[in-house]
Amino acid sequence: MPAPKQTTRRSLLVTSAVLSSLALAAPVAVAAPKPSGSPSASASPSVTPPASMSGVGGARLGRPGTQVNLASGVPVLPKDLSARSWIVADAESGEVLAAHNAHWRLAPASTLKMLFADTLLPKFPRDTKHKVVPSDLAGIGPGSSMVGIKEDETYTVHDLWLGVFLQSGNDAVHVLSAMNKGVENTVAEMNEHAEELQALDTHVVSPDGYDAEGQVSSAYDLTLIARSGMQKKDFREYASTVTAKFPGETKKGKKGKTVRKPFEIRNTNRLLAGDSDVPVYEGIAGVKNGNTTNAGATFTGVAERGGKVLLVTVMNPEKPEHNEVYKETARLFDWGFKAAGKVQPVGELVPPKGAEQAKPGANPSGEAGGSGDGAGGTAGPGSKPVASAPAADGSSGIGTALGITGGVLVLLAGGAFLVNRRWPLPDLVRRRTRP
């Protein structure tokens, strides 16, 4: 049965993207306590999805198995998908084009960092400085991915977010959590924000996504969270940055002078930067990947092509092939772009609870520190895309899409989502030279 008809078009505000070179694989966390065997926390690859799951977004999304309305002119889904759960959605309209076990509650790994960022990004201006103390780094799980933060060194909030998004650094997450009155408070705020987004499959135990008993999310929820995050300029910028300079450790150099040399960090999203067996995906602009013992490989991506912006989430492919999560994501993107406008949706991405209370003139952008003035070098709506433009902080990319070309921002009636009908990323991607 088709999803309920939408009366309001909810869309992403997309005004910036920064793309550049080669990505590295994120370290896999060592085994941690597995989520319980209850329906709220599936962990074992042998477990089958519940017979009935959440109906948020439409009744069909709560059914196990693949949900798609195939008809004349609609391309057939890829036959070689092994993921336990996946979803393909139109990021602008919110229509779910197809899904497989969309509400299955599974371990999310570092894709949960999208919720961490969406919750905390508006709180601290990016130029805020913080000196790391030993307690900031307490409680980081063994085998965690790290960006290389050192005690007694000072970092800006901008540095820390680069560490979160590019290197999936659990150390950066813990430092930001310490700045936010601690891990316990941060977890509580993340759970509260998930409820506000109607990401009701999600339960946070550890803010970095490290395996923890009872920590779960779903392909549907991760897609909702990514869609919310992409409303924020800072989130878009960090999620699409491939390489950047990160402050190193202060050492004594020649003649006894202290020096602090930066080192390069690289994004772990292979569809964004490519790998030997994964080409850069045309139009990709983020979002976040993850990999832990319980979760396997997880990934949420956003891409634009032919005027369509799609979100795809893939959780735990069972195929053992290298980079399989990216390969299956790419195939689902390909299908989605061919099917968009032809396939009847099977559900929808619901808006946040507070969307109905939003008023014209409100600032839903969620910039760092609450500023809406384009902090970080992003120009206003009159700007044009600039290819091969390095970021002001030394991070590199194929360019930055500055503002909107030919589009207008429209606050939807009764909603907090903004509309951007043009996202000029594909042209920038075509200009990119492979590393």
* Catalytic positions, written as ranges: 110, 113, 168
Beta strands at 308-317 and 243-246: parallel, antiparallel or unpaired? unpaired
Euclidean distance between CA atoms 275 and 128, whole angstroms: 34
End-to-end CA distance of the chain: 46
Q: How many CB atoms lie within 10 A of CB 430?
A: 11
Give the integer Cα–Cα distance in Å for 306 and 424.
10
DSSP state of 79: S
Residues 6 or more apart from 235 whose CB is under 8 A from it?
117, 118, 121, 229, 366
Residue environment code for 215-229, b if the CB has 16+ CB neighbours within 10 A, otherwise e: bbbbbbbbbbbbbbb
Side-chain half-sphere exposure of 346, counting CA atoms within 13 A: 23
**Nearest by Cα to 90 from 3, 198, 217:** 3
**Strands annotated E in 154-195:** 154-156
Number of other residues whose CB lies within 10 A of the CB of residue 188? 13
Separation between Cα atoms, residue 168 and residue 208, nearest integer Å: 8
Q: Of 94, 110, 118, 102, give the one whose Cα is nearest residue 193.
A: 118
Is there a contact between 197 and 224 (Cβ–Cβ < 8 Å)?
A: yes
Is there a contact between 290 and 314 (Cβ–Cβ < 8 Å)? no
Name the phi and psi angles at 396, rounded to 5. Answer: -115, 160
Query: What are the tokens at 17?
Result: 């993207």
* Structural contact between residues 125 and 157, judged by C-beta atoms closer than 8 angstroms: yes
Chain centre to alpha carbon of residue 225: 7
What's the angle, vertex CA 247, arms to CA 286 and CA 403, rounded to 5?
Answer: 35
Would strands 243-246 and 263-266 be described as parallel, antiparallel, or unpaired?
A: antiparallel
